[in-house]
Chains A and B, each alone.
Chain A
């Protein structure tokens, strides 16, 4: 197994930990208090970040279409 595979596995494992800790388990609605440290924003809610990227891509596509039509 090469180092890249090990590094990638380690990264994925960290993301797996964070996904579980931030999104899963017993959920107390309304009582969650989270401040976000700027430097580590990328680690907060990976799903949320991916959704944001997808939304941005969709917005870009929409903009592109309207420019083509215009």
Chain B
């Protein structure tokens, strides 16, 4: 199973030294498969024994996290297996340029996740959307109880639509402010709006390691400025969300 692909260290003895103190899935030893200046960290695994449970996946993440402390790396999705070392070496050779490009992109950088939560119902109530004015229906055909029900439905839907638009506009304004505040951090960001009714912003950032303290300061500052929102920052992570390599 392949855990990660990393850039060879200047000291060739560094990776074996780090791996010697670690164990992979099913207590297997780690070894390296290299091509040129890139190395895959792998361990032998029986396909039948590869079970996805909480413990196995957390252990897997722990290994990648440990390696990330000392190396520039691309995490590989859990459960990625190849038949032999020869196949892995061929894969590295075939995708060498793409892997190198990605390693260069994430070198010296860390990923952070920022989730912004809020009580959406409270937020909506605060917007105080006024109901639509009464439509003039006198003298037109189809007036009466049926038309009134229809109009009520249309007005309700219109009010809901306007409310959603207002919430989205508010979310956009918060994202704009986050982006502006992060200018000094030089972050590469990805934003997802309304990931769930409570999670109004789900953002990911790739920043230089040395900018970590500044990012934390900015998020604390944002939290003070928006007391009704709940900012949750997680990281530093290996760059899981900024790897763009698909190997078939």
Contacts and interface: CB of A to CB of B under 8 A. Distances in A.
A41 to B, nearest CB: 9
Nearest to A28: B80
A35 B47 CA distance: 9
Contacts of A23: 77
Contacts of B48: 35
Interface residues of B, number: 38
B209 to A, nearest CB: 18
Contacts of B78: 21-22, 34
Contacts of B50: 33-35
B248 interface: yes
A31 B237 contact: no
B54 A24 contact: no
A6 to B, nearest CB: 12
Interface string B28-68: 00000000000000000001101111100110110010000
A20 B75 contact: yes
A65 interface: no
Nearest to B3: A25
Contacts of A49: none
Instruction: Give the residue among B47, B48, B52, B237 with the most A Cβ atoms within 10 A.
Output: B52
Given A12-B115, A30-B248, A24 B51 contact: no
Contacts of B57: 17-18, 21-22, 43
A27 B79 CA distance: 10
A28 B61 contact: no
Contact of A40 (B4, B5, B53, B80): B53
A34 B79 contact: yes
A9 B52 contact: no
B240 A25 contact: yes
A34 B237 CA distance: 23
Contacts of A14: 54, 58
22 contacts: A17-B58, A17-B61, A18-B58, A20-B241, A21-B64, A22-B78, A24-B77, A25-B4, A25-B74, A25-B77, A25-B240, A26-B2, A26-B77, A26-B247, A28-B82, A28-B247, A28-B248, A33-B47, A34-B50, A35-B48, A36-B52, A44-B52
Interface of A: 9, 12-14, 16-18, 20-37, 39-40, 43-44
